[in-house]
Amino acid sequence: MGTFDVLLVHVYLLAIFSVVVKTRVSLALYRLLNVFVVFLMVISSIVFFRNVTFVRIALVDWARFLPLILVFIVMVQGDLKLLFKMVGIKSGLLVANEIEDEVKDELMHAIDYLSRHKIGAIITFERSDSLKDFIDSAFRINASVSSELLTSMFIPNTPLHDGAVIVKDNVIVCAGAYFPPSESDKIPKYLGSRHRAAIGISEISDSFTVVVSEETGQISVSVDGYLDQDISTDSLILYMEKYLQN
């Protein structure tokens, strides 16, 4: 195994590792890990092209090198998105279900407030699968996302505080939505109705849901039938980037 192959294996392993730990480490550490992976990619590319000329590159060589390009695009697509935005180019080919930066900031402010004050909340983001049936049976809002509006909806003893807010295309489309709770016997008994509803909607759609516990103030997310409990705000940002921007 040559130098290029050794570097290639390390790049792939580190890239996989960065994806696995993405929501488990701090935002700064995740970014630093990405920089290191990209650095190894650059070194690997230099080694690759020093050993072969363009004319002499065989099909098997390209088969080894091309995946490296794809991994590079995946690792830096968030930075490419920011670059495209700066020059006025929409990055729809690289980024789907894009959540605007202003909307993300408002959401983070609202969720941080709800968490600190132990106000229960459930916020669901429609992705590819339509949530029309749940939207139609809820209270229509159709308003821009703002931290003040979101927090006011979940204040205890108000008409909408028990149901879910649904966000679609960067707009709060409704509040007071009720999802079928998950009937899985693997869910811990101490979890309440909001968490069960969040898991339930993630089992029947590709939606992404954020839950704030009114007992502990802990933040959890549910997607693809899975609930990740007691995550940090840094982890929540990474979840949003993964499921609402990528």
Let me know whether 120 and 234 are in one domain: yes
Higher-confidence residue of 79 and 216: namely 216
- Least confident stretch, 157-166, 192-201, 207-216: 157-166
Q: Are 211 and 1 in contact (CB under 8 A)?
A: no
Q: Which two three-digit tokens encode residue 207?
A: 């939606």
Let me know whether 62 and 122 are in one domain: no
| pTM across the whole model | 0.66
Q: Which residue in the block uniquely carries the two structure tokens 């979840």?
A: 239
Q: Which two three-digit tokens encode residue 89?
A: 């180019």
Query: What's the CA gap between 112 and 212, in Å, rounded?
Result: 9
Average pLDDT taken over every residue of the chain: 80
Q: Which residue in the block uniquely carries the two structure tokens 């839950």?
A: 211
**Predicted local confidence at residue 53, as pLDDT:** 55
What pLDDT band is residue 47 in, cutting at 50, 70 and 90? confident
Structural domain of 11: 3-86
Is the model's pLDDT at 102 over the cut of 70? yes
Let me know whether 80 and 107 are in one domain: no
Is the model's pLDDT at 119 over the cut of 70? yes
**Predicted local confidence at residue 93, as pLDDT:** 46
Query: What's the CA gap between 185 and 172, in Å, rounded?
Result: 32
**Predicted local confidence at residue 99, as pLDDT:** 72
Is residue 92 situated within a structural domain? no
- Largest separation between any pair of C-alpha atoms in the chain: 73
Q: Which residue in the block uniquely carries the two structure tokens 């408002």?
A: 106
Q: Which residue in the block uniquely carries the two structure tokens 């006025």?
A: 88
Is residue 96 situated within a structural domain? no
Query: What is the average per-residue pLDDT within 42-54?
Result: 69
Neighbours of 84 (CB within 10 A): 17
For the chain, the domain total comes to: 2
